[in-house]
Amino acid sequence: MRAPATDLPLILEDVSLLAREVRILHHVSLTFAAGAPTMLVGPNGSGKSSLMRVAMGLTSPTRGRVTYGGRTDVPPLRRAIVFQRPVMLRRTASGNLIYALAASGMKRAERNAAAQELLGRVGLGALSDRPARRMSGGEQQRLAIARALAKEPEILFLDEPTASLDPAATKATEDIISGIAARGIKIVMATHDLGEARRLGGEIVLMNRGRIVEVADAQTFFTSPKTDAARRFVAGELLV
DSSP string, 169-186: HHHHHHHHHHHHHHTTPE
Residue 108 has pLDDT above 60, yes or no: yes
Residue 215 has pLDDT above 70, yes or no: yes
For the segment 88-95, the average pLDDT, to the nearest whole number, is 97
- Whether 1 is in a domain gets the answer no
List Cα–Cα distances, 104 to 95, 176, 184, 185, 222, in angstroms: 14, 22, 20, 17, 39
pLDDT band at 2 (very low <50, low <70, confident <90, very high): very low
Domain of residue 185: give its range.
10-87+142-234
pTM for the full predicted model: 0.95
Helix (H, G, I), strand (E, B) or coil at 213: strand
Residue 20 has pLDDT above 70, yes or no: yes
pLDDT of residue 199: 97
Neighbours of 86 (CB within 10 A): 19
- Whether 92 is in a domain gets the answer no
- Whether 104 is in a domain gets the answer no
Split into its structural domains, the chain has a count of 1
d(C-alpha 212, C-alpha 219), whole Å: 18
- Whether 137 is in a domain gets the answer no
- Whether 3 is in a domain gets the answer no
Give residues with Cβ within 8 angstroms of 28, minimum separation 6.
12, 14, 15, 16, 47, 51, 64, 210, 211, 212
- Whether 179 is in a domain gets the answer yes
CATH number of the domain residue 75 falls in: 3.40.50.300
- Whether 123 is in a domain gets the answer no
Cβ atoms of residues 239 and 208 within 8 Å: yes
* Alpha helices (H) in the chain, listed in sequence order: 48-56, 93-103, 108-121, 137-149, 167-182, 194-200, 218-223, 228-234
Tell me what the pLDDT averaged over the chain comes to: 95
Closest among 209, 141, 128, 133 to 169, alpha carbons compared? 141
Residue 4 has pLDDT above 80, yes or no: no
pLDDT of residue 165: 92
Residue 3 has pLDDT above 60, yes or no: no
Rounded to 5°, the CA angle 20-25-31 comes to 145
Digit-coded pLDDT (tens) for 37-51: 999 999 999 999 999
pLDDT of residue 240: 83
- Whether 114 is in a domain gets the answer no
